[in-house]
Structure 1
Amino acid sequence: MKNYRWATLGCGVIANQLADAMHKKGRQLYGVANRTHANAVSFAEQHGIPVVYDTIQDLFADKNVDVIYISTPHNTHFSYVCEALRQGKHVLCEKSIMLNAQELQTAAAIAEANQVVLAEAMTIYHMPLYKKLREIMADGILGPLRMIQMNFGSYKEYDMTNRFFNRSLAGGALLDIGVYALSFVRWFMAETPGQIVSQVKFASSGVDEQAGILLMNSRQEMAAVSLSLHAKQPKRGMIAYDKGYIEIYEYPRADKAVITYTEDARQEIISSGKRDDALWYEIRDMETSLSGETDEMHLQYTADVMDIMTQIRSSWRMTYPEEQGKDTM
C-alpha cells in the first residue's frame, strides 16, 4: 500500500491523538497548520513533524500532501473541507463533519468532481468490535432487530462561552455527542429511520443542552436516544433482538460487548480491537479506501446521520449563525 502523506489542520486533543497513533505504528504526520501559527510550531516540535505551514492556504496548496485531517471547530468545517477537496486533497474530518445536510451534499459533490475521498472521523464505523458485531448480526443467531437504546451524558460547567454551549462555535449536545449515538443507531439499523420525534431543553445561549429522540424505520426497528451536556450518563448502547440483546459501554471507542441470550440468560463476551488504537483504525480504513481495495469510510451512513440531525434541529427551529437565511434541508 502507498505510504500516504498526512497533514493535520488543527492541533488540539484529537490532533495529538492522531500524531501519537501514527508514531505508535512507526509513522509520522508530514505537516501541520493551525489558525494560531505559534501553536502549530509547538505541535510540530512535540511530534517531530517536518513541515509547519505559515497559513492554512499553504497547506491546501502543498502538492506533497495526500490526506488532510481536519479537527477545527464544527462551524469551520464546511469552508475548510471544500477548499481542501478543490485542491485535490483527500479529507478525513472530525465529527460532526458539517453543520447540516446541505453542506454535506455540497462537499460530497466537490469530492466526486475532484475524484478524492471525503469521510467523517467517526470511530464507531472503524472499531473492529463493530465490524465483528455486524458479522454476528449477519449470521442471524440473534433474530430480527427490535429496539436500540442509547445514552450519552456529560457534565459540563455552565460556561456559555466555551465550545459546548457557544452558538457561534456550533455548540450543543446533538452535534457534539448526539452524532455518536445516532451513528451507532445507523450502524445497526437495516435502513435509515424515517420517523423522528424529539424533545429538547435549550441552554441560555440558545443551543441544545439536553434532548430525547425517538426513531423508527420502515422495518419498524426503533431507537431511543438520551443526550445531555449537563447531566452525567454512562456511554451505554443496548441493541435488543428477538433472541438476545447486546450491551456496550464507552461505545464511541468500544472494544468489548456483552451478549445476553433471551432463552437461558447465558452471557457471551465479544472482544475485538483496542480502544487506544481508535485513531489508527480510522487511518487504516481511510488508506484502504484510498488504495481502492474497499470502501471503508461509510459516507452514506454519515449522510444519513446528518439528515437526521438536520431534521431534528429544523423541528427545534435551532440554527447557527452560518445558516441564517439558507435552506439547510
Structure 2
Amino acid sequence: MTYNWGLIGTGVIAHEMADALQQVNGEIYGVTARNQTRLQAFATAKGVAHTYPDATALINDPAIDVVYVATPHNLHYDLIKEALQAGKHVFAEKAITVNAAQLAELKQLAQAQGLILTEGFTLFHMPIYQKVQQLIASGKLGQIKLVQVNFGSLKDYDPTNRFFSKDLAGGALLDIGGYATAFARLFLGSQPNNLLTTVKFFETGVDEQSGIILKNQQEQMAVMALSLRAKQPKRGVISGTKGYIEINNYPRATEALVTYTPDAHATTTETLQAGTADQALAYEVADMQRYIAQGHDDGQLALSYDVSQTMTAIRNAWGLRFPED
C-alpha cells in the first residue's frame, strides 16, 4: 500500500528521506519549503509532482495522507498540531517537540483523531534492536543493571549556526542527545525518575557538553556523555549480571557484540547482525506505513514521550529554557 506523503523542509535529512520514500513508497506527492529556489530544485531532483507556497497549503491539500516535518525544532509543535488538526498522519524528525508538555498535547490530539504520530529515531526501527531485545528477554544476560551511551559531534565554531541557537532550540541535548536518551530508555525497564547532571554551556546559552546519570524505580542506571564540540564514538553498552552488549554507531547499528560473563574467570562472545545502515530511513518509512495500515504504532510514541520527559527534566536541572518553554 502506498500513501501520499507531503514533505515540509528540504534540508539534508529531507533529501535522505526523499530517497527512502522513493524506494519504499514509490513516489512523493508534495513538498514545501521557505526558500522557493531550493524548493524547486528539490522537487526536480526527487521527482516530486506538487509544490506548495507554504506549509499550510500542503497540510490542507486533501490528497495528502502523511506529513513529514523536517524543520528546526522550534517549528515542530505548530506544524504537527496543524497537520493533526487537518486529519493527517505525521512523521517528525527528532526532537519531535522542544519539551514534554508540547508532546503530551500532540500525543493526546493524535489519539483523539485516530492518527499516527511518529518521531524519527532510527534506532527504534533498525532490525538489530529486535535481536538485542530478544536476547535480553531470553535471560542470557541476566538482570540488566547499567546502560552507558555516548554521542559526541564536532560542530564548527559558529555561534550563528542553528546547532548553537537558543531561538531555534539548539544545543547538544535536543540535537544529538535524543538518540542517547532513546537508547538508554529502550533498555531500561521503566522511565528514569531520578537524575544527576552537569553541563557546560556554549556562549549562546545552549548546552555544549554534558554528563548525565539516570536511575529508574528498579534502580537500573544509565550514564550518558554528550558534546557538540568534541567527537566521540557513537557507542552504547548494555550491562547485565551475566554479560554485556556493545553496539557501535548505535543510531544506525547493524551489529551487536555480546560478551557472556558467567563467572569471573570465563567469557564467551557472539556477534548479532541484522539490517544495513544505508536502509535506516527506509526502515522508518516502512514502519510508519505499517503503523498507519494497522492503526497503532507498537508503542513507539509512548517511548518518544518518555524520552521527551527525561530530556525536559535534564534541561530543568540545568535551568536551560527555550522561548517555547
| Same fold flag (TM > 0.5) | yes
How far apart in 2 are the matches of 1:294 and 1:315? 34
Q: Is the CA contact (8 Å cut-off) linking 1:285 and 1:297 kept in structure 2?
A: no
Partner of 1:218: 217
- Please report how far the alpha carbon of residue 152 of structure 1 lies from its aligned counterpart in structure 2 after TM superposition: 0.7
Summarize deviations over 1:211-252 as a string: whole Å, max 9, x none.
000011111111100001111110000011111110011111
- How many equivalent residue pairs? 322
How do 1:42-57 residues align onto structure 2 when only pairs under 5 Å count? Answer: 42-57=41-56
- Please report how far the alpha carbon of residue 38 of structure 1 lies from its aligned counterpart in structure 2 after TM superposition: 2.1
Summarize deviations over 1:35-72 as a string: whole Å, max 9, x none.
22221111010011101112211101011111111010
How far apart in 2 are the matches of 1:291 and 1:42? 32
Partner of 2:180: 181
Q: If the length of structure 2 is used for normalisation, what is the TM-score?
A: 0.96
Partner of 1:326: none
How far apart in 2 are the matches of 1:6 and 1:221? 40
Partner of 1:266: 268
How far apart in 1 are the matches of 2:239 and 2:195? 19
Q: CA RMSD for the aligned pairs?
A: 1.2
Instruction: Establish whether residue 290 from structure 1 lines up as the match of residue 289 from structure 2.
Output: no
Secondary structure, aligned partner of 2:153: strand
Partner of 2:279: 277
Deviation larger for 101-110 or 202-211: 101-110
How far apart in 1 are the matches of 2:75 and 2:53? 18
Partner of 2:17: 18
Partner of 2:301: 299
- Please report how far the alpha carbon of residue 266 of structure 1 lies from its aligned counterpart in structure 2 after TM superposition: 1.5
Q: Is the CA contact (8 Å cut-off) linking 1:37 and 1:55 kept in structure 2?
A: no
How do 1:88-103 residues align onto structure 2 when only pairs under 5 Å count? Answer: 88-103=87-102
How far apart in 1 are the matches of 2:77 and 2:4? 22
Q: Is the CA contact (8 Å cut-off) linking 2:2 and 2:25 kept in structure 1?
A: no
Q: Is the CA contact (8 Å cut-off) linking 2:94 and 2:121 kept in structure 1?
A: yes
How far apart in 2 are the matches of 1:92 and 1:193? 26
Instruction: Establish whether residue 161 from structure 1 lines up as the match of residue 163 from structure 2.
Output: no
Q: Which amino acid aligns with 2:61?
A: D
How do 1:133-172 residues align onto structure 2 when only pairs under 5 Å count? Answer: 133-172=132-171
Change (3 A) 1:116 1:167: same
How far apart in 2 are the matches of 1:126 and 1:242? 27
- Structure 1: unaligned runs, 5 residues or longer: 324-329
Partner of 2:118: 119
How far apart in 1 are the matches of 2:297 and 2:324? 31
Change (3 A) 1:268 1:149: same
How far apart in 2 are the matches of 1:294 and 1:114? 12
How far apart in 1 are the matches of 2:201 and 2:18? 36
Partner of 2:29: 30
- Please report how far the alpha carbon of residue 293 of structure 1 lies from its aligned counterpart in structure 2 after TM superposition: 6.3
- Please report how far the alpha carbon of residue 313 of structure 1 lies from its aligned counterpart in structure 2 after TM superposition: 0.8
Q: Is the CA contact (8 Å cut-off) linking 1:289 and 1:297 kept in structure 2?
A: no
